[in-house]
Structure 1
Amino acid sequence: MKHLNKKSMLLLLLAFVMMFMAACGNGTAGNAGDKPAAGGAENKEAPKAGEPVKVVWWHSMSGELGKAVDKLVADFNASQKNVVVEAVFQGTYDESLNKMKASMDSKSGPALIQVYEIGSRFMIDSKAITPMQKFIDADKYDVSQLEENILNYYTVDGKLNSMPFNTSNPILYYNKDAFKAAGLDPEKPPVTYEEVAEAAKKLSKDGKAGASFAIYGWFMEQFFANQGAELLNNGNGRTSPATESLLGSDAGVNTMTWWKQMIDDKTMLNLGRKTDDTKKAFAAGQIAMTLDTTASLRGIVSAAEGKFQVGTAFLPKPKDAKDGGVIVGGASLYILNNRSEAEQKGAWEFIKFLTDPKQQAYWHVNTGYFPITKKAYDEQLVKDNLTKYPQFKTAVDQLHQTKANKATQGAVMGVFPEARQLTEGAIEEVLNGKKSPKEALDGAAKEISSKLAQYNKTVAK
């Protein structure tokens, strides 16, 4: 292995602790069964004079999302003659990232790659990127036109490492018709844990349950942030690398106690880990409340069309919670530093195109993801979409009302995918009555802390 340089060695070592990476889980990261297209061309050399720069972009957007990506790329390529972007679907986020690791030494990878939000710490530690801040500073690019609470997540050590691309957060979806039938005000959805539990009791009748939340680590992360509570020590891993998981703290125990009590009261169903299963149950009228990503809004409203009206509300929190809010989910775009300067600059030109209000309006309306550019809301396309789907205003308001702090900025750690799996295992243990909330969460926290120690040791080499 003597021929490997330091960066390649680091990537190889990091790969060992990232082996069991879990997909983003909101159903938008490409389907595991999709066959990825062949990798992009190597494109090692700078283009010849007069020829456009070729920028290979690896992404994980399949289906309708993939079509929206292709349209953006085609529009960019048609808008100028200096850069040609080639978008290449590479499977799930995990598959794409693993291919990137394998390509680093041979330089056969892309100039631009889409990486899910929980891969942020890994991408920084890999030393494989040119931080977005370098291009922002060189170009005097005005980041104030972008949403602060979205940029907040991807800013580490005072600099923006990647450009947000597909962004979402979770909201409470509820059946307005079921609320009316239960004597609840459909225009006043529950706000607190306590109000959700009370509503669930009234909604549970005629063989239907009040609610069901998928067993999803992302939701637990959000419940922490909504209480102003940090998931990791050292400022959520942002003031210095995290060494300890705080999963077993009061924020976690209180959340799981509330969740388990609704299961015990038979006012909530446990439908497992797949958000698709809770979506289907909600659309069928079997449950009256559920949690899901804002990116699913259009699909959820369409599935209920003709059956009942869908209401949306902020993510619930305990009545005595501190200031908090939601953390953004989704993915962002990284420029890789082993490509030519011309390719990296070409990737930056494409990124600037993507942040244009018109492109952001198109992306938002055709995918359900947030626009990251504030002026996109002034576009007629977005205004018309909000008229058709007024429920999305909940998502926008929740994003804007989120209090910026270390909790809502979101945790960063190199073993995030594994941590999510351990969190989901702990939630299952509690809901299935195998362990108490404190015992299950403390057990998972201990394992996560152990993995953090291994990771930090690897990065320090």
Structure 2
Amino acid sequence: MKILKKILIVVASTILFFPWIVSSAYALECNTPILDSSSDEVKAYYIPENKYAGQSINVPTNQENNVQKACRIKFEELSGAKVIMIPYPKQKDMLDAINLAIATNSGEFDAMTSGAGGAKEYGLGGHLNPLPEPPDRDDFYTGDYDQYSIGGELYGIPTVTDTNLLYWRSDLFEEAGLDPTKPPQTYTELTEYAKLLTIDKNGKRSTEEGFDKNNIEIYGFGFKGEASLASPWEWYNYLFAFGGDVFDSEYNVAIDSPESIASLQWVVDNYRVHNIYPADTPVYDYGAFHTLFIQGKMAMAVNWPYMYGMSQDPEQSKVVGKVEIGRKPMQERYAGNLGGWSYGVLKMSKKQELAEAFAKWNGNPDQASMEALIRGNAPARKSITELMVKEKPIVAGAIAKNLPDTMGVKWLDAGPSWMALEKETWKLIQYALVGEKTPEQALKDAKVEMEKILKRDRFHEELVPLLLGN
């Protein structure tokens, strides 16, 4: 309790002047009340020794936020080292620079931050060194920790994570005779709710005689159907919940399993049979999707937490005070995909010990608490989620309900084949949505193309043994 009070005092004084902090990162201090009260083993893992005076490491970045900057400065104070952040305008520019440094073995960079895709691709490619297992590993969410691991070894320490939430309009629930405190518990039930919540311009519900499906005013649900990462990364929530996955336990493509087919059939039926999605769903990206919701034209949605803040902003939203968020429904199980970021150590580094110390420092619980309480990022740690729920019960409460259900997207385990597999995934979703193929045929055809990609890239010969720890 004393630790909690210390954290809240620091955070409360910081949040009070939040607009000023954004413009001046130096106003923020990286205090360590959690680490100060932790075991010696935990302290030794995260807190660097003060023995690196005169040394420096180079870390590429395309964005260093105020929390990261404050904690970098704290690391420099503790270690005596200098961390030189090398900025790039875009993430692609940063990755291009890292790839060039790897190709030329320049030793230019020492550590890097990346999502799960980067940690897996660079780790499987032999460009990252594994990190020692944290003594407080159990404090990290299993799905999040696993998405940065290869063959049981950690290649990126989790810093922040992310998960999708269920959004629903409490006012529309009440108007339809639904209890706004009881959202749908299964995806089958969600479809039934959505049919009741879909209303045409004459005020008729889709369940009523005379409903005009060509003139819908409010859609019961939505889907980001654009041919981009937007569509598969929404579909994975349903795929996992229906009991499917992209690979089986031996890394054979399982995209056409009965569970996978059922999950895609559910999406397609919502669009083509039940008319609870907008007509132009196949071109919906994140922007079109969240705009429809915050303008009051969608009754329920599955999306990342960022949309809640938008929905409560009177400058852009028509649904302020009318939105609830919570746990996504189940079907065969509660499950959903996740995002996140981690820090890893590049093998090219000539200062491995210092680079590792910096990577581990970025995973410490105090920095995680600041990312959560000050910046609103979903914490990678269970203990910080509990703390966040006390301070921000609505958003953090919803995040806390969903994070234990999360699973990593195993396409990321395919390393350099990852994006090619994602493209085949969004293509199959497109084929099914527009009716060019049935969901089953789209999945079976995609499996053939995916197996060709994996064979071309020697996935089973070169990477699967590493993933399975053989």
TM bin, normalised by shorter chain, reads 0.7 to 0.9
Contact residue 168 and residue 325 of structure 2 kept, 8 A: yes
Judged with a 3 Å threshold, the aligned counterparts in structure 2 of structure 1 residues 95 and 449 are, in CA distance, closer, same or farther, namely: farther
2: distance between equivalents of 1:94 and 1:458?
28
Judged with a 3 Å threshold, the aligned counterparts in structure 2 of structure 1 residues 327 and 257 are, in CA distance, closer, same or farther, namely: closer
Query: Shift in Å at residue 50 of structure 1?
Result: 7.4
Q: Which residue matches 1:23?
A: none
Task: Specify the code of the residue in structure 1 equivalent to 2:456.
Answer: Q
Question: How many equivalent pairs are there?
Answer: 384
Q: TM-score, normalised by structure 1?
A: 0.75
1: distance between equivalents of 2:241 and 2:179?
24
Deviates more, 1:295-304 or 1:178-187: 295-304
Deviates more, 1:276-285 or 1:247-256: 247-256
Q: Which residue matches 2:194?
A: 200
Q: Which residue matches 1:397?
A: 401
2: distance between equivalents of 1:161 and 1:283?
38
Judged with a 3 Å threshold, the aligned counterparts in structure 2 of structure 1 residues 81 and 457 are, in CA distance, closer, same or farther, namely: closer
Q: TM-score, normalised by structure 2?
A: 0.74
Question: Structure 1, unaligned stretches of length 5 or more?
Answer: 1-48
Judged with a 3 Å threshold, the aligned counterparts in structure 2 of structure 1 residues 306 and 294 are, in CA distance, closer, same or farther, namely: closer
Percent of residue pairs identical: 18
Q: Which residue matches 1:151?
A: 145
Q: Is 1:311 matched up with 2:324?
A: yes
Q: Is 1:176 matched up with 2:170?
A: yes
Q: Which residue matches 2:263?
A: 255
Contact residue 312 and residue 321 of structure 2 kept, 8 A: no
Query: Shift in Å at residue 378 of structure 1?
Result: 5.9
Q: Is 1:346 matched up with 2:354?
A: yes
Give secondary structure in 1 for the equivalent of 2:456. helix
Contact residue 173 and residue 290 of structure 1 kept, 8 A: yes
Q: Is 1:212 matched up with 2:202?
A: no
Judged with a 3 Å threshold, the aligned counterparts in structure 2 of structure 1 residues 373 and 209 are, in CA distance, closer, same or farther, namely: closer
Query: Shift in Å at residue 254 of structure 1?
Result: 1.1
Which of 292, 308, 316 is equivalent to 2:303?
292
2: distance between equivalents of 1:280 and 1:98?
33
Judged with a 3 Å threshold, the aligned counterparts in structure 2 of structure 1 residues 186 and 348 are, in CA distance, closer, same or farther, namely: same
User: Which structure has the larger Rg over C-alpha atoms?
Assistant: 2
Matches within 5 A, 1:17-416: 51-61=53-63, 66-77=65-76, 79-104=77-102, 105-133=104-132, 136=133, 141-205=135-199, 206=201, 207-215=217-225, 216-233=231-248, 235=249, 239=250, 242=251, 244-264=252-272, 265-269=274-278, 270=281, 272-302=283-313, 304=317, 307-318=320-331, 321=332, 323=333, 325-340=335-350, 343-377=351-385, 379=387, 382-383=388-389, 385-387=391-393, 390-401=394-405, 410-411=410-411, 412-414=413-415, 415-416=417-418
Task: Specify the code of the residue in structure 2 equivalent to 1:74.
Answer: I
Give secondary structure in 1 for the equivalent of 2:220. strand
Superposed CA deviations along residues 183-240 of structure 1, whole A, max 9, x for unmatched, are 221111112121111111111114111111113212223323223423113x1xxx5x
Task: Specify the code of the residue in structure 2 equivalent to 1:86.
Answer: I
Contact residue 148 and residue 154 of structure 2 kept, 8 A: yes
1: distance between equivalents of 2:52 and 2:138?
35
Give secondary structure in 2 for the equivalent of 1:355. coil
2: distance between equivalents of 1:458 and 1:211?
39
Judged with a 3 Å threshold, the aligned counterparts in structure 2 of structure 1 residues 50 and 309 are, in CA distance, closer, same or farther, namely: closer
1: distance between equivalents of 2:355 and 2:307?
29
Query: Shift in Å at residue 92 of structure 1?
Result: 4.7
The alignment yields a C-alpha RMSD, in angstroms, of 2.8
1: distance between equivalents of 2:376 and 2:78?
28
Give secondary structure in 2 for the equivalent of 1:287. coil
Contact residue 105 and residue 348 of structure 2 kept, 8 A: no
Contact residue 70 and residue 87 of structure 1 kept, 8 A: no
Contact residue 297 and residue 392 of structure 1 kept, 8 A: no
Contact residue 311 and residue 391 of structure 1 kept, 8 A: no
Q: Which residue matches 1:436?
A: 438
